[in-house]
Amino acid sequence: MFSIGEFSRITGISIKALRLYHEKELLRPSFVQSRTGYRYYNERDVEMARVIVRLREFGFSLSEIQTILGQYTDDQEILDYLQARREAVDAELAALRNVTASLNAIIQNEQEARRLMKQADYEVEEKNIEPMLIAGVRMRGKYSDCGQGFSRIGKKLGRYICGKPLCLYYDGEYKEEDADFEACMPVRKHVETEGVAVRELTGGRCFSLLHRGPYDQLGRSYEKILKYVKERGLEIILPTREVYLKGPGMIFKGNPRNYRTEIQLLVR
Amino acid sequence: MFSIGEFSRITGISIKALRLYHEKELLRPSFVQSRTGYRYYNERDVEMARVIVRLREFGFSLSEIQTILGQYTDDQEILDYLQARREAVDAELAALRNVTASLNAIIQNEQEARRLMKQADYEVEEKNIEPMLIAGVRMRGKYSDCGQGFSRIGKKLGRYICGKPLCLYYDGEYKEEDADFEACMPVRKHVETEGVAVRELTGGRCFSLLHRGPYDQLGRSYEKILKYVKERGLEIILPTREVYLKGPGMIFKGNPRNYRTEIQLLVR
DNA sequence: TCTGCGCCCTCCCCCAAGGGGAGACTCAAG
DNA sequence: CTTGAGTCTCCCCTTGGGGGAGGGCGCAGA
């Protein structure tokens, strides 16, 4: 016979929990002194306690354990419970995997953004751009609706995205209302999906300027880079591109003053 | 301005939850009519609500969310929180993976046992046994201590076990006290571990008898199979083997009357 | 004008699985 | 007999709300 303290040390179950199990008739001490109310446990209770610990590790609730203990004494007989439990655990696993995936995406994104913040110098720069595989949604209307395009790509091809979102502008000029543009995401893999076109975006010689600040100030940066290109007598190839290096976050909208957008003009 | 009911429908957060968030100063309605106490929310609150939903999906507690919302407005600034959260989620994932693994092991075990129960006919049978890779712990003492051997193998090589536990008996006769035996488990892979020997167990011509019931009745089945073998003038090769097809379960000890043990005697 | 309805409010209790602690006994040893 | 450790019951607290009681508010129909 063990007192509750000894029994607690033996089984690793806290005294509080033991009293709770007693109250719920899950694990009844083999003897209770009626005068003092002291609980006493024996060897067989130890065995029962181990079973309970086992089942709790599997995530069964106390009431489920009560049912199981009340009716069955063999693993074989609780197969249904075990299978149900496994399914529930698998569902939890799937949900958690989604969570880590999202968290990882955000973390990676922001870490890249952080690196970017350090090295940028905000001057027009000439460089060569590699071709890349992109998924795009061609749209017509207001620029600010491009978010819908991105979210559609995210939903369909979220798993394959491998770079920063960008937007292609097919109009030679700024259009307020009826703009013709395409929301794009670099992807790893060519996947056929309706509503989203996957194709290779050409590379080439390019002038780029990093714009910092909110989108409604983009005009100034365009002015700067266009002047730069025009001075050199270069011919711009449409569509022009904007790469959203850092925009509204996945959680917060963030501070627009910290947004970073790269304007890319491909030239012949 | 939305009433709490409208706001609830917009954001997908229950009215109860909204009132709780208000009480915890997590999401304050933009206007509260002092006379009636009615809560009114606006567009910006919708945005805030989405952030909260997002963070809750990641598993942040309400108090964590309060801290985050109170101090930061950019994904970048909460990177530390996100990373901490990811680690916590990864830990949960690992724990759950263990749970499913254990559950799967038990379920598979019991399903095999169930199949076994149906086909068995409890007569001496001649068959050929394939060699197999086993992990073994050689022991000396009482047979009933073999459980310690099995648990040691389980701890060291649990991941590689691929069959039913068995026991090898090196004594030609029954010994009560100072028996020489080896607790074994079939394994998939040769792994070097101290205290556990992994090697190939030879196969060959074999007579086997399925014993059903508790272990203390094994004597009768031995009598039966030994008589059978002796009648045919065959020479037994030591060690003899017992395969525990169904014994005490991983959770319950189960009913000994349902235990199934296969006695295997290899012969020349 | 009365009544009913649909919302909304606060306040209280409830869930799981115990943890923490107060105040009162009890046990065992010195 | 005392003392300290162990145990008892009882109550409140946690998280993230759910359920419902009792009452206020405004609007529409009879």
Domain that holds residue B18: 2-71
Average pLDDT for A136-158 = 91
With respect to residue A136, please indicate whether it lies within any of the assigned structural domains: yes
Write the pLDDT tens digit of every residue in B13-52. Answer: 999 999 999 999 999 999 999 889 999 999 999 999 999 9
Q: Average per-residue pLDDT in chain A?
A: 93
Per DSSP bridges, beta strands B125-129 and B179-186 are unpaired
User: Which residues in chain B are closer than 8 Å to A51, comparing Cβ atoms?
Assistant: 251-252
Residue of B nearest to A251 (CA): B51
For the domain that residue A217 is a member of, what is the CATH number? 3.20.80.10
| Residue A144 confidence (pLDDT) | 87
- Is the pLDDT at A119 greater than 80? The verdict is no
Q: Which residues of chain B have pLDDT under 50?
A: none
Classify residue A113: in a domain, yes or no: no
Do B143 and B239 belong to one domain?
A: yes
Residues whose CB falls within 8 Å of the CB of residue B171, separated by 6 or more in sequence, listed in order: B179, B180, B181, B238
- Distance C1 C1' – B35 CA (angstroms): 26
pLDDT of residue A120: 64
Secondary structure in 3-state letters for B158-172: HHHECCCCEEEECCC
Q: Say whether both A54 and A127 belong to one domain.
A: no
Residue A254 is nearest to which of B54, B74, B102, comparing CB atoms?
Answer: B74
Question: Would B10 be classed as within a structural domain?
Answer: yes
Distance B62 CA to D15 C1' (A): 9
Same domain, residue pair B126 and B207: yes
B35/A209 Cα distance (integer angstroms) = 56
Of B71, B86, B108, which residue sits at a domain end?
B71
* B116 interface with A at CB cutoff 8 Å: no
Nearest to A90 by CA among B172, B107, B147: B107
Would you tell me which residues have their CB within 7 A of strand C? A 14, 16-17, 20, 33, 35-36, 38, 56, 61-63; B 3-6, 15, 19, 36-39
Residue B241 and residue B198 in contact, taking contact as beta carbons nearer than 8 Å: no
**Three-state secondary-structure class, residue A2:** strand
Same domain, B134 and B58: no
| Final residue of a structural domain among A39, A71, A103 | A71
Helix H or strand E encompassing B21 = helix B15-23
B58 vs A contacts (CB less than 8 Å): 99, 102-103
Asked whether strand D has any atom less than 7 Å from the CB of A172, the reply is: no
Residues of A in contact with B106 (CB under 8 A): 75, 82
Q: What is the 3-state secondary structure (H, E, C) of B209-228?
A: EEEECCHHHHHHHHHHHHHH
For residue B120, the model assigns a pLDDT of 64
The number of distinct structural domains making up chain B is 2
Q: Is B51 on the interface with A (CB under 8 A)?
A: yes
Q: How far apart are CA A161 and CA A156, in angstroms?
A: 10
Distance A20 CA to D10 C1' (A): 14
Residue A47 in contact with partner chain B when CB distance is under 8 A: yes
For residue A124, being part of any structural domain is answered with: yes
Question: A73: which chain B residues are within 8 Å (Cβ-Cβ)?
Answer: 252-255
Give which of A74, A90, A151 to mutate to test B binding, by max B Cβ within 10 Å.
Answer: A74
For residue A18, being part of any structural domain is answered with: yes
**Residue at A106 is within a domain:** no
Tell me the pLDDT tens digit for each residue of B208-223. 999 989 999 999 999 9
Q: How far is A245 from chain B (nearest CA, A)?
A: 13
A94 domain-assigned: no
> Which CATH number belongs to the domain containing residue A23 in this structure?
1.10.1660.10
Q: Among all strands, which nt has the closest C1' to B14 (CA)?
A: D17
Judged by CB atoms closer than 8 Å, whether chains meet at B253 and A79 is answered as no
Query: In terms of domains, do B23 and B147 share one?
Result: no
What pLDDT is stored for residue B240 in this prediction? 95
